């Protein structure tokens, strides 16, 4: 297993620790900041594994499949935890998770036909904004400017979620038609 794939696996391993610190004692600032640090570290492994894979030509089918899945697990776990903490509306999380199920379904159908659908730029922008949104919501800084910024980032993340879904559907319509 190459280094980018190890970083992807490490991101998945960090998720339960992140969720524990996020939800075990929400009133404990040390837990909140620990959860935030774990989330940031896990998010940075996403950027790092991609850069290393591209720079050293270490791109694998495992990485193309697992990297987006690890991102989904991390971000969706965070958003579900943030619903519990009352920091994000559940309907927004439902839209985001529904998009992930649709794309995962497309990837599974494509994989059955010997094709790997890698992440698109829209999907990468979506993931980046979702991660920034989660960071701001975990930090939960009590300042009017931060509240506005967090809400703007949330709406941008939601818009990018929808745009990236449409992009995947249009670019990969042959997956469902059987014309691959």
Model pLDDT for residues 64-100, shown as the tens digit of each residue: 778 888 988 999 999 999 999 999 999 999 999 999 9
DSSP state of 115: -
Query: Residue 163 has what pLDDT?
Result: 96
Domain range for 157: 3-173
Q: Is residue 133 part of a domain?
A: yes
Query: Residue 129's pLDDT is what?
Result: 95
133-166 burial code (b ≥16 CB/10 A, e <16): bbbbbbeeeeeeeeeeebeebbebbbebbeebbe
Helices 29-55 and 3-23, interaxial angle, to 10°? Answer: 170
Indicate yes or no: pTM above 0.85.
yes
Residue 178 has a pLDDT of 61
Q: Is 88 domain-assigned?
A: yes
Residue 43 falls inside a structural domain = yes
Q: What is the pLDDT of residue 179?
A: 58
CA end-to-end distance (rounded Å), the chain: 30
Is 130 within a domain?
Answer: yes
Q: How many domains in the chain? A: 1
Q: Which of 156, 5, 14 is nearest to 73 (CA)?
A: 14
pLDDT tens sequence for the chain (180 residues): 999 999 999 999 999 999 999 999 999 999 999 999 999 999 999 889 989 998 999 988 888 778 888 988 999 999 999 999 999 999 999 999 999 999 888 878 887 877 777 678 898 899 899 999 999 999 999 999 999 999 999 999 999 999 999 998 888 888 777 655
CATH number, domain at 167?
A: 1.20.120.1760
pLDDT given at position 107: 79
Which strand (E) or helix (H) includes residue 2? none
Other C-beta atoms within 10 Å of 45: how many?
Answer: 22
Asked if residue 180 is part of any domain, the answer here is: no
Residue 179 lies in a domain: no
What pLDDT sits at residue 115? Answer: 79
**Model pLDDT, residue 166:** 94
pLDDT of residue 180: 52
Residue 52 domain flag:
yes
Nearby residues of 25 by Cβ (< 8 Å), 6 or more positions away: 31
Q: Is 125 exposed, middle or buried (0-12, 13-18, 19+ CB in 10 A)?
A: middle
| Tokens, residue 63 | 């990485």
- 178 occurs within a structural domain: no
Q: What angle do CA 150, 86, 98 make, to 5 degrees?
A: 80
């Amino acid at each position: 297993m190459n280094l980018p794939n190890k970083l992807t696996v490490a991101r998945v391993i960090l998720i339960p620790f992140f969720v524990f610190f996020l939800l075990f004692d929400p009133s404990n600032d040390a837990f909140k900041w620990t959860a935030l640090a774990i989330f940031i570290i896990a998010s940075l492994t996403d950027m790092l594994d991609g850069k290393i894979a591209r720079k050293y030509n270490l791109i694998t089918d495992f990485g193309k499949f697992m990297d987006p899945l690890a991102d989904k697990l991390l971000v969706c776990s965070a958003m579900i935890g943030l619903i519990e903490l009352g920091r994000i509306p559940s309907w927004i999380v439902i839209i985001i998770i529904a998009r992930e199920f649709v794309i995962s379904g497309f990837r599974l159908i494509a994989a059955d036909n010997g094709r790997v659908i890698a992440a698109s730029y829209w999907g990468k922008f979506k993931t980046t904004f979702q991660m920034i949104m989660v960071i701001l919501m975990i930090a939960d800084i009590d300042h009017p400017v931060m509240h506005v910024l967090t809400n703007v980032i949330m709406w941008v993340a939601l818009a990018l979620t929808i745009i990236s879904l449409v992009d995947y559907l249009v670019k990969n319509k042959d997956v469902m038609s059987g014309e691959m």
